[in-house]
Chains A and B, each alone.
Chain A
Amino acid sequence: MNLLQPDASLRRRQALDRLFVALLVASAASGVVVLLLVLGYVIWRGAPALNPAFFTQRPLPYGEPGGGVAPAILGTLTMLAVASAIGIPIGIGAAVYLSEYGRGSFANVVRFVIDLLAGLPSIVVGVFVWALVVRQLVGNYSGIAGAVALAIIMIPIVTRTVEEILHLVPTTLREASLALGVPRWRTILFVVLPTARAGIITGVVLSLARAGGETAPLLLTALGNQFFSFDLTQPMAALPVQIYNYAVSPYEDWHTKAWGSALVLIGVIGTLSLVTRLAARGRTGR
């Protein structure tokens, strides 16, 4: 008798194996397909709106030909920059606390609250910042209010991703540094954080992408602006708000501009991610 003779059970197992691998490939492919569909459709609808003026001019009233979304591009970049300056240090600081010092009930409370904050609908953040910053602190719709709202959205994303990454830094590296007589704060600053650099960048990029696409909180805080403005105490334009304003209009021309703006937004966030990653790589590559 041939011991290695294939039998019925082997054939069934092989068939099942192929079936499940096929299912896994299909799942993986569907993610890619959805992304390509979205991207393809936005390009198809938005490309006709793109021309040099679209990137350099301010929006014009309906009926006037031309015009662009330059204030919105600059407003989005400005507010993201201010939001990053507020949110990223706080987010990384909280993550370092949770990962390096966080034991006991206070840390658990912080973790729980950060998770709640991450799950908070962005419109609620918008309402809160409207009540606090727009109504109380500044007195009107303003770029700084929009930046604060975006920072609140960024903090939990940065904190949770960076905390997870810091947990992945081997304990042996911390021990190696401490055993050299290096104080703990220097160990964290010069050993733990640089080792986790790539993961920290990923967290920052994720939070930037998420904040860059937020619309609801900006409608209640930055409001939008048809003119160029870098004054953080005044209403400021933003791409998502611009998309919203164009999309809810009754005009066919503005609908095309909405698609065009969406395409620009994808481009801006994509470029931002790429630049951040390249900048981070440039500093380590030697």
Chain B
Amino acid sequence: MVRHSEFTPSGDARSALAEPEPLGVRGHAMRTAQLSAWYGAQQAIDGISLPIAPNRITAIIGPSGCGKSTFIRCLNRMHEVTPGSPRVNGHVYLDEQEIYAPGVDPVRVRRLIGMVFQKPNPFPAMSIADNVVAGWRLVGGYRQKNLDEVVERCLREAALWDEVKDKLHQSGASLSGGQQQRLCIARALAVEPEVLLMDEPCSALDPVATFKIEDLMLRLKERYTIAIVTHNMQQAARISDYTAFLLAGDDRVGRLVEYGPTSEVFTNPRDRRAEDYITGRFG
């Protein structure tokens, strides 16, 4: 863990953890340094140092069990609420501010760094509209008059508005899988995060729904910094600007094997194992 003196913001560096800027100004960078994580005694990832560029899509690929999901869950401190004695060591920075520093509120971190999960998880007891503004309602202290506006803006951003505008008060569970996932994206956008983490957001969806979400991500990166975990290498190649390849050795501990601009990683990987994986020789 860093000491306080090491993350004093420099003159022009804005402190995202102190005061969020209005939406859509400029994306924020993230970076991990020597990040390791455990579940109980089992280490899941080891010493991962990775930049996540602002206003770009960074794809994290690798075979099952390589620690992709663990890694991305460490980026907004969701790892520590996973069952099974989770533990983290190393550093994660948002705009060069340590998110694991003592005194940093994990609730605040998650507010700034949103997450979309593998399985669409709308709140079943809430309507579509309530799902979108769930982040505001659940936290409380919102101004009622803005919420209808937020619902429409976020559903439009998530390319779902036209499909649901006539049934905003029906349950979110009545939507198809792809619509539910876009509802979850709208919900994540509604709290105005700076960074959007996506943990295999399309793995439960059909190709049409997948296409819609990929299209959406390409538009969202103008305003947000995005990191996506994916099983699907074509997806990584289609949408990401940078690609990181994780691989677990015989000890079942995931390590960073390759990182670079997506075009380079896919056409000219430096690491032999990454090349084997990308060309389909295994995985």
Contact = CB atoms under 8 A, between A and B. Distances in A.
Interface string B106-132: 011111101101010111110000000
B138 interface: yes
Contact of A175 (B78, B137, B138): B78
Interface in A177-212: 177-184, 186-187, 190-191, 194-195, 197
A176 B78 CA distance: 10
Contact of A176 (B76, B83, B137, B184): B184
Interface in B76-116: 76, 78, 81, 83, 107-112, 114-115
Nearest to B77: A178
Interface residues of A, number: 24
Contacts of A14: none
Contact of B81 (A172, A178, A181, A190): A178
A170 interface: yes
B108 A180 contact: no
Interface string A157-179: 00000000000001111111111
A181 B117 contact: no
Nearest to A182: B138
B135 A173 contact: no
Contacts of B160: none
A175 B121 contact: yes
A119 B180 CA distance: 45
Contacts of B119: 172
A286 interface: yes
Chain A, interface SS category: helix
Given A171-B83, A175-B117, A182 B139 contact: yes
A136 interface: no
B125 A181 contact: no
Contacts of A195: 123-125
A170 B138 contact: no
Contacts of A171: 83
A177 B133 CA distance: 11
Contact of B134 (A172, A174, A180, A184): A180
Contacts, number: 76
Contact of A172 (B83, B121, B139): B121
B134 A181 contact: no
B117 A176 contact: yes
Given A171-B83, A175-B78, A175-B117, A180 B188 contact: yes
B48 interface: no
A105 interface: no
A9 interface: no
A55 to B, nearest CB: 39
B280 interface: no
B187 interface: yes
A183 B107 CA distance: 6
A242 B65 CA distance: 66
B191 interface: yes
Given A181-B191, A186-B139, A194 B125 contact: yes
A15 to B, nearest CB: 44
Contacts of B76: 179
A284 interface: yes
A172 B125 contact: no
Contacts of A175: 78, 81, 115, 117, 121
Contact of A182 (B83, B107, B117, B169): B107
Nearest to A177: B138
B249 interface: no
Interface string B124-159: 110000000011011110000000000000000000
Nearest to B190: A180
A31 B210 CA distance: 50
B110 A181 contact: yes
Contacts of B123: 173, 176-177, 191, 195
B227 to A, nearest CB: 14
A171 B82 CA distance: 9
Given A172-B117, A173-B121, A182-B138, 18 more contacts: A170-B121, A171-B83, A172-B119, A175-B78, A175-B115, A175-B121, A176-B117, A176-B121, A178-B110, A180-B139, A181-B109, A181-B112, A181-B135, A181-B191, A184-B81, A186-B139, A191-B123, A194-B125
Interface of A: 170-184, 186-187, 190-191, 194-195, 197, 284, 286
- Give the 4 A-B CB pairs with smallest separation, nearest first: A181-B111, A180-B135, A179-B115, A172-B121
